[in-house]
Amino acid sequence: MSEAMLSKVRKLLAQAEDPACTPAESAAFTAKATELIARYGVDRALLAARDPATDPVGDRVVDVVAPYARDKVGLLAAVAEPLRCRCVRRRQGAGFVLHLFGFASDLERVDLLFTSLLVQAAHGLAGTAVPAGEHPAAFHRSWLAGFAEVIGGRLWAAETAAADESGRPSVALVLADRSDRVQRRLAEQYPRLRTAPPRRLAGSGFGPGAEAGSRADLGGRDVAGGPATGRYLGR
């Protein structure tokens, strides 16, 4: 991402993360940043189709630390998959190491959005009261699950809209090929993987977390985000 574009996106996200922002202002800043990020992803994909050296397939390792490490992993997976990246989760102490695979430009976008969303989630949790008699950790875990699911759905919507609005019939084929190449790279390094089992969460925070994810308005338009797959793999 060019320095000018990166600077613009970071400024928008910083404004969205400012506690002094009203919910409407935060939503507007985040929506604009996500729209720019999605359009950038399509532009880079088309450029790389013509000149593969401009955007190689790669990987990076992300340390996800406690508290709520597994819940943060779920959020990272919900961000990564719509942006055509894949994740392998490995346990490390009280946290996890997440091995991400994707094209360089998509990995950059995942890193930028995930960092911003962690801040937004922290603000959201801090401003949400835990119901009387409920264990705070259970409530927070379910809140983060709701937040991640809605964020994932809205990112799918933003990515789909950016591809559709490009007006180029070849975009779908280019993006599908990129997804296939990322999957092949992952399979080369992890030929034997198992899908992590679904979680069972007891807290009542899913609804408030989902509402917070909706207020982020990541799609940049009034769309109903579909459920995020939130898939990740473990060794």
pLDDT digits (tens, 9 = 90+) for 60-99: 999 998 889 999 999 999 999 999 999 999 998 889 999 9
CA-to-CA separations, 10 to 7, 201, 225, in angstroms, rounded: 5, 33, 24
User: How far is it, in rounded angstroms, from Cα 178 to Cα 92?
Assistant: 30
pLDDT(219) > 50: no
Phi, psi (deg, nearest 5) at residue 184: -65, -40
pLDDT confidence of residue 125: 87
Say if residues 233 and 166 touch (Cβ distance below 8 Å).
Answer: no
Instruction: Check residue 227 and give its pLDDT.
Output: 34
**33: buried, middle or exposed (CB in 10 Å: 19+, 13-18, 0-12)?**
buried
- pLDDT at residue 152 is higher than 60: yes
* Cα 120 from Cα 126, distance rounded (Å): 10
Mean pLDDT computed over 42-50: 60
DSSP for residue 67: S
d(CA 41, CA 76): 18
**What's the confidence (pLDDT) of residue 166?**
65
Highest mean pLDDT among 10-14, 100-104, 216-220: 100-104
229, pLDDT greater than 60: no
Q: Residue 26 in 3-state DSSP?
A: helix
Cα separation, 54 vs 46, in Å, equals 10
